[in-house]
């Protein structure tokens, strides 16, 4: 990940998405969130607890915390990525996985 | 023939959805069911966008919706709906968090998780109903 790439999503952080990050950072090692467009907030959570867990199990750990957010924020969270640190060092097993990871870090133009 | 009205898109959506459900129920082909089922969601959302677009703007919007890869993406389509004052429910958003369908599935081989596939098809069915209720 280059600095320029990182900045492209960090620039999309808002006070609302910072509240999402603050909430999740109380429970997980790393939480990133940004507003992609008027209808979509993207969230990424990275934590060693996720090691060896299925996607369903990981999501089930995060969702109860998201439920604490106001409905107007919650209804815009359309993307939730959950990674263990080792997932990020591993080559993605599918093209889709690779595309989705890349899309979080380097969001394509939303045109909105 | 290309769909031109909200009803046309909804009809396409239903045909893709029933095909995907059959592929899953009868053939148990998870990857193919997901690939076809994802298009149902796309067509449902496009139907609602057209429905919520003023008559005079529909030809332009129809052209946009049927040209370019961008409009395969649910995030973009929900953005267009937001511009038209349509808000998804919290429950729908929760389902969409699991919906990571992209047209890139066409390049994948093998199988997908059965539970994940059933979940995607349930999401497609729920979105179809949500849209259908909003189109007279």
| Burial (Cβ within 10 Å: 0-12, 13-18, ≥19) of residue B65 | buried
The answer to whether the Cβ–Cβ distance between B75 and A76 falls below 8 Å is no
pLDDT of residue A90: 76
Within chain A, how many helices (H) and strands (E) appear? 6, 3
Q: CA B52, CA B58: separation in Å to the nearest integer?
A: 9
Average pLDDT score, chain A: 87
Q: Tell me how close the Cα of A91 comes to any Cα of chain B, in angstroms.
A: 16
Predicted local confidence at residue A100, as pLDDT: 66
Banded model confidence at residue A44, pLDDT cuts 50, 70, 90: very high
pTM of structure: 0.90
The beta-carbon neighbor of B97 closest among A71, A77, A95 is A77
Apex A100 CA angle, A96 and A101, nearest 5: 120
Long-range contact pairs involving A47-50 (C-beta distance under 8 Å, separation at least 24):
A47/A82, A47/A84, A48/A84, A48/A85, A49/A84, A50/A82, A50/A83, A50/A84, A50/A87
Classify B82 as helix, strand or coil: helix
Alpha-carbon distance values, B135 to A58, B51, B112, B131 (Å)? 37, 7, 33, 7
Tell me which chain A residues have a C-beta less than 8 angstroms from the C-beta of B83.
Answer: 38, 112
Residue with tokens 């109860």: A64
CA distance A48 to A30: 10
The answer to whether the CB atoms of A94 and B108 lie below 8 A apart is yes
Query: Which of B93, B100, B116 has its CB closest to that of A74?
Result: B93
Three-class SS of residue A30?
strand
What ipTM score was computed for the predicted complex, to two decimals?
A: 0.90
Inspect the interface and report whether the beta carbons of B105 and A96 lie closer than 8 Å.
Answer: yes
pLDDT of residue B58: 97
Parallel, antiparallel, or unpaired: how do β-strands A40-46 and A77-83 relate?
A: parallel
pLDDT in tens, B18-70: 999 999 999 999 999 999 999 999 999 999 999 999 999 999 999 999 998 88
Does the pLDDT value for residue A112 go beyond 60?
no
Neighbouring C-alpha atoms within 13 Å toward the C-beta of A9: 22
């Amino acid at each position: 990940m280059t600095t320029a790439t990182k900045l492209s999503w960090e620039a999309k952080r808002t006070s609302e998405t910072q509240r999402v990050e603050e909430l999740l950072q109380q429970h997980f090692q790393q939480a990133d969130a940004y507003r992609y467009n008027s209808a979509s907030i993207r969230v990424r959570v990275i934590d060693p607890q996720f090691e060896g867990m299925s996607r369903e199990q990981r999501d089930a750990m995060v969702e109860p915390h998201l439920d604490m957010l106001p409905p107007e924020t919650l209804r815009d969270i359309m993307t939730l990525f959950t990674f263990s640190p080792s997932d990020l060092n591993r080559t993605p097993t599918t093209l889709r996985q690779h595309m989705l990871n890349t899309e979080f870090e380097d969001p394509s133009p939303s045109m909105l | 023939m290309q769909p031109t009205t909200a009803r046309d898109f909804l009809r396409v959506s239903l045909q893709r959805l029933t095909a995907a459900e059959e592929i899953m129920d009868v053939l148990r082909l998870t990857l193919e069911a997901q690939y076809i089922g994802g298009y149902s969601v796309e067509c449902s959302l496009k139907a609602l966008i057209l429905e919520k677009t003023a008559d005079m703007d529909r030809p332009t919007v129809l052209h946009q919706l049927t040209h370019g890869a961008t409009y395969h993406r649910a995030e973009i389509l929900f953005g267009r709906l937001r511009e038209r004052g349509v808000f998804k429910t919290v429950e729908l958003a929760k389902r969409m968090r699991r919906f990571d369908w992209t047209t890139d599935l066409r390049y994948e081989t093998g199988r997908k998780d059965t539970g994940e596939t059933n979940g995607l098809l349930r999401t497609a069915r729920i979105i179809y109903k949500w849209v259908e209720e909003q189109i007279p």
